[in-house]
């Protein structure tokens, strides 16, 4: 008898979940096909810019070992092919603030941030970087190690400029901040990874929502399923007030509704008004470089 | 007494499907004859086996020969039921109703709806006192009708006051209250209503094939339950008759009824007593309408298995969709 009930329980279980199992199977097949097709069709497009130099890592501050520089070049080469954008790293150790620096280096400004922006933009433009064309798709990480004026600036261009808002720029530069003191290589590679993730769609808000959905939606759904199936009502009352009344209705001996008096009151309606505003978005830190090309970007000073 | 088949000597029983006496052994109809009238109660008059009964039992099934025995002295004299609603639904129909109702109870134990378990259901005639009330409801009070409108930036509220008077008579017939100690009052109330149009004068034949009880308590002892039902219904009717008012202030409200008329009747109930993990889960089925009252037990193993499987399926589907989008 027990075995028969166990067999019946298994049968009920399989019957109950048959649609789900079929659905999982179908989605699995579709996923395999889609991922395979995606991999086969994935092409980044050939690099069309022949004017830019092959070099991507300029360690003027000499904070990286030769081996680390080579590893960064390899990393950048791999990431560039994946997202179709040039990625350039420049480290330097020179003053960028004050009148003396302006006179000595010919800066347009005396303040740190605008000069860092100019240096990064000019470096990018002067070397004709851009994956699709000179001044095209790409980003440049400029890291200044000059004592008292150290900090990082990210200059964006083309598709990265279009994609990166202030939030993404801030997060990218924060990656450098996190590790720069202990391990410059790790700091730059983390920043490059972040830029690549955003450009390939892995770090979008949608992806974050999807991840949360994948994690919590099944738990919530399973909880709701259990909750609704656990609810068990004994039964409901199906008698009404008239169930036991002979003829189904009472006999009205007297029914009177006599008007007595009337009263009218009034009050003034208070009106109120409200207004609001909001909205944000788009190309973070947008500006035009001294060479006349559109860039975006932002800095963190250490 | 026992109803025997004149043709084969088997136990003739009342068949709800055929609405007549029937011998399940030789399939003869109306072949019944009374035997062993006023026999001793301690033993089965058919096989001599010892039978166990309570002080209120009026009909039972012999555990040895399966014959249905009716105790004459508990359906006669002071205990004679006035009317009875014979079972309208047979065992197979009730099993089908239970299966249909609880089929979607996913977490019920697997054997809950098994043939073996459902075969244990038993039909019982439950003693009920029926109360008839001639109720009078009176109301006097002040009703207010409010009308609100806006003109410009001024809101006007007009309040019209009325003197409201109601006087109504309500004839309640057959408000039931079960006179069985073993039957839970709340459950018996939920099994209502019965269709009194099928009440017929009592005959012992209707009890053959079922369990039964005489009334366990006098009508006066349970009248308060019927009175509460009557008052609740009367109050609702009174309320319904006073409508259209924004607010109502009663000055005088009364619901009165002289002593009710009573009648002792038997009403049919199928009982399925399912035991799970040493706890009994009784289910009651109105033997006339098929209304089912009862709460299914929950198998924790099923809750975990089904919940975890659904979670795994959903996680797999959402994860795969994520992979495709990525």
Query: What tokens appear for A194 in the block?
Result: 């972040």
pLDDT, tens digit, for every residue of A225-256?
Answer: 888 887 777 778 888 889 999 988 999 999 99
Rg (CA), chain B: 28
Q: Do A238 and B291 touch (CB under 8 A)?
A: yes
Asked if B46 reaches chain A (Cβ–Cβ under 8 Å), the answer is no
Average pLDDT over residues B211-219: 96
pLDDT, tens digit, for every residue of B111-120?
Answer: 899 999 999 9
Instruction: Count other Cβ atoms within 10 Å, centred on residue A294.
Output: 16
Chain B residue whose CA is closest to A219? B311
Chain B residue whose CA is closest to A266? B156
CB neighbours of B267 closer than 8 A, spacing ≥ 6? B84, B85, B125, B126, B128, B176, B194, B287, B288
**Of B163, B138, B167, B169, residue with least CA distance to B249:** B163
Please state, in angstroms and rounded to a whole number, the distance separating the CA atoms of residues B317 and A26.
Answer: 10
Chain A residue whose CA is closest to B105? A229
Judge whether A296 and A285 are in contact, CB under 8 Å: yes
Which contiguous run of DSSP H or E holds residue A256? strand A251-268
Chain A residue whose CA is closest to B116? A1
pLDDT, tens digit, for every residue of B39-89?
Answer: 788 899 999 999 999 999 999 999 999 999 999 999 999 999 999 999 999
SS3 A158: helix
Asked if B325 reaches chain A (Cβ–Cβ under 8 Å), the answer is yes
Judge whether A85 and A47 are in contact, CB under 8 Å: no
Quick one: pLDDT band at residue A203, thresholds 50, 70, 90?
low
Strand extents, DSSP E, B113-234: 122-151, 154-178, 200-201, 211-213
Judge whether B146 and B159 are in contact, CB under 8 Å: yes
Q: Do A221 and B311 touch (CB under 8 A)?
A: yes
Give contacts of B324 with chain A, Cβ < 8 Å. Answer: 30-31, 34-35
Strand extents, DSSP E, A112-205: 138-144, 151-157
User: Which stretches within chain B are classed as H helix?
Assistant: 91-102, 115-118, 185-191, 219-241, 300-325
Give contacts of B308 with chain A, Cβ < 8 Å. Answer: 222
Average pLDDT over residues B26-51: 90
Domain ranges of chain A: 57-205+295-301
Average pLDDT over residues A208-223: 82
Give contacts of B229 with chain A, Cβ < 8 Å. Answer: 244
Query: What tokens appear for B11 in the block?
Result: 């136990």
Distance from the A257 Cα atom to the nearest Cα atom in chain B, whole angstroms: 5
pLDDT, tens digit, for every residue of B136-147?
Answer: 999 999 999 999
Q: Is the full-model pTM beyond 0.90?
A: no
Query: Would the pLDDT of A207 be above 80?
Result: no
Q: Which of residues 222-251 of A touch B (CB under 8 A)?
A: 222-223, 225-226, 229-230, 232-239, 241-247, 250-251
Judge whether B141 and B251 are in contact, CB under 8 Å: yes
Asked if A202 reaches chain B (Cβ–Cβ under 8 Å), the answer is yes
Q: Which fold has domain A57-205+295-301?
A: Diaminopimelate Epimerase; Chain A, domain 1 (3.10.310)
Give contacts of A202 with chain B, Cβ < 8 Å. Answer: 326
Asked if B243 reaches chain A (Cβ–Cβ under 8 Å), the answer is no
Distance from the A108 Cα atom to the nearest Cα atom in chain B, whole angstroms: 44
Please state, in angstroms and rounded to a whole number, the distance separating the CA atoms of residues A14 and A19.
Answer: 9
Q: Do B163 and A253 touch (CB under 8 A)?
A: no
Judge whether A177 and A298 are in contact, CB under 8 Å: no
Distance from the B104 Cα atom to the nearest Cα atom in chain A, whole angstroms: 9
Q: Which of A10, A241, A244, A257 is the best mutation test for B, with the most CBs of B within 10 A? A: A244
Give contacts of B114 with chain A, Cβ < 8 Å. Answer: 5, 8
For strands A251-268 and B154-178, give the pairing.
antiparallel
Domain ranges of chain B: 127-295, 297-326
Query: What tokens appear for A250 in the block?
Result: 């009472």
Please state, in angstroms and rounded to a whole number, the distance separating the CA atoms of residues A196 and A130.
Answer: 15
For strands A86-92 and A57-59, give the pairing.
parallel
Query: Would the pLDDT of A276 be above 60?
Result: no
């Amino acid at each position: 008898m027990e075995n028969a009930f166990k067999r019946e329980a298994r049968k009920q279980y399989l019957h109950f979940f048959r649609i789900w199992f079929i659905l999982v199977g179908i989605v699995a097949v579709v996923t395999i096909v889609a991922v395979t097709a995606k991999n086969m069709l994935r092409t980044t497009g050939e690099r069309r810019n022949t004017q830019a130099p092959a070099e991507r890592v300029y360690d003027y501050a000499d904070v990286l070992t030769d081996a680390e520089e080579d590893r960064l070049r390899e990393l950048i080469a791999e990431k560039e092919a994946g997202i179709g954008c040039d990625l350039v790293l420049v480290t330097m150790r020179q003053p960028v603030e004050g009148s003396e620096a302006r006179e000595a280096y010919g800066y347009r400004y005396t303040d740190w941030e605008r000069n860092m922006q100019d240096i990064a933009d000019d470096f990018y433009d002067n070397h004709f970087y851009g994956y699709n064309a000179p001044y095209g798709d790409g980003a440049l990480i400029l890291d200044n190690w000059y004592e008292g004026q150290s900090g990082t600036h990210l200059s964006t261009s083309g598709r990265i400029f279009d994609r990166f808002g202030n939030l993404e720029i801030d997060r990218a530069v924060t990656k450098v901040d996190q590790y720069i003191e202990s391990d410059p290589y790790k700091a730059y590679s983390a920043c490059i990874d972040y830029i690549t993730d955003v450009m390939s769609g892995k770090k979008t808000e949608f992806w974050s929502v999807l991840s949360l959905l994948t994690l919590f939606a099944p738990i919530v759904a399973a909880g709701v399923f259990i909750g609704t199936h656990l609810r068990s009502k004994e039964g409901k009352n199906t008698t009404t007030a008239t169930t036991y009344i002979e003829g189904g209705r009472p006999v009205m001996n007297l029914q009177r509704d006599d008007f007595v008096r009337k009263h009218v009151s009034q009050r003034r309606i208070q009106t109120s008004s409200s207004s609001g505003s909001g909205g944000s978005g788009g190309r973070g830190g947008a500006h035009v470089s001294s060479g006349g090309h559109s860039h975006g970007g932002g800095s963190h000073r250490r | 007494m026992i109803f025997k088949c004149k043709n084969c000597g088997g136990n003739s029983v009342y068949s709800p499907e055929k609405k007549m006496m029937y011998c399940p052994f030789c399939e003869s109809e109306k072949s019944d004859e009374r035997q062993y009238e006023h026999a001793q109660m301690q033993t089965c008059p058919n096989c001599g086996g010892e039978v166990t009964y309570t002080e209120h039992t009026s009909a039972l099934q012999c555990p040895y020969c399966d014959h249905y025995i009716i105790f004459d002295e508990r359906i006669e004299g002071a205990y004679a039921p006035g009317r009875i609603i014979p079972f309208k639904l047979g065992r197979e129909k009730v099993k089908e109703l239970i299966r249909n109702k609880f089929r979607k109870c996913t977490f019920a134990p697997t054997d809950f709806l098994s043939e073996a378990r459902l075969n244990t259901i038993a039909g019982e005639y439950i003693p009920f006192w029926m109360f008839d009330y001639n109720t009078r409801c009176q109301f006097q009070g002040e009703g207010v009708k409010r009308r609100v409108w806006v003109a410009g930036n001024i809101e006007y509220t007009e309040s019209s006051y009325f003197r409201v008077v109601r006087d109504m008579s309500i004839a309640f017939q057959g408000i039931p209250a079960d006179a069985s100690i073993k039957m839970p009052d709340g459950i018996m109330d939920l099994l209502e209503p019965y269709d009194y149009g099928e009440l017929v004068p009592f005959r012992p034949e209707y009890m053959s094939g079922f369990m039964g009880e005489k009334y366990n308590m006098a009508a006066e002892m349970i009248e308060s339950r019927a009175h509460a039902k009557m008052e609740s219904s009367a109050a609702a009717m009174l309320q319904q008759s006073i409508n259209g008012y924004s607010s109502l202030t009663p000055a005088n409200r009364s619901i009165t009824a002289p002593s009710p008329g009573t009648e002792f009747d038997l009403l049919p109930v199928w009982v399925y007593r399912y035991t799970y993990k040493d706890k009994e889960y009784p289910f009651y089925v109105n033997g006339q309408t098929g209304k089912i009252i009862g709460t299914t037990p929950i198998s924790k193993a099923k809750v975990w298995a089904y919940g975890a499987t659904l979670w795994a399926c959903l996680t797999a589907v959402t994860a795969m969709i994520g992979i495709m989008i990525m």
